[in-house]
Structure 1
């Protein structure tokens, strides 16, 4: 195998077993509870988001998360989506 191919293969993040569609649906329907963040592995941010949601500030964050999930810029913490939209 060529060096460039090995380097590209090593640089690619491993699939996490998470579905982008599931993440988007969780964000859309249960975003106020930050379930999508727990699903993606961001426990600390999920707790912070819940606290902010109590003060109504977090809705903007949830909306941004939904857009980021749909565009693919918010990936699971430990890799990439197993299934994408």
Structure 2
């Protein structure tokens, strides 16, 4: 196993899957690009132009995310898929071991959407923190 394989945290396949919803910034949030993710969310991927350009930028974003975040027992791709597709129900929080807030999200539809947006901004850091404190 080489060093690059050992440090992979994000999946390029998941990046492209989220790119399908990229005009809402999903892939940018996945790769830790919060500001541009938010910009894409409110401008429909810079009126779809940035979204198309990102088709070619995903490999670079994936490489940078792999260097930036910590690998560990919590899988970034699983957590992000749960957030993007079921985030208002809190399944991603339950996956992270945050049962109380996961159940709270379930009962309040992601704290009325505000918690969902918060997690779009902070999920990578939440996972890195969990992975950094885990025993390997």
TM-score for the superposition, normalised by structure 1: 0.59
2:111 & 2:106 partners in 1: Cα distance? 10
CA distance 1:41–1:57, shift in 2 (3 Å) = closer
2:78 is the alignment partner of 1:27 = no
Q: What corresponds to 2:127 in structure 1?
A: 75
Which string of whole-angstrom CA distances, capped at 9 and with x for unpartnered residues, describes residues 21-61 of structure 1? 211111000112111001000001111112221xx743121
Bigger relative CO (Cα 8 Å, ≥ 6 apart): 1
Q: Which runs of 5+ in 1 are unaligned?
A: 1-14
Q: What corresponds to 2:117 in structure 1?
A: 63
Runs of 4+ in 1 over 4 A off after TM superposition: none
2:93 is the alignment partner of 1:52 = no
- How far is 1:75 from its partner? 2.4
Which string of whole-angstrom CA distances, capped at 9 and with x for unpartnered residues, describes residues 52-79 of structure 1? 21xx74312112112211xx221278x3
More helix by share: 2
Q: What corresponds to 1:7 in structure 2?
A: none
Q: What is the total number of aligned residue pairs between the two structures? A: 62
Q: Which runs of 5+ in 2 are unaligned?
A: 1-71
TM-score for the superposition, normalised by structure 2: 0.39
Contact preservation (8 Å) 1:37, 1:43 = yes
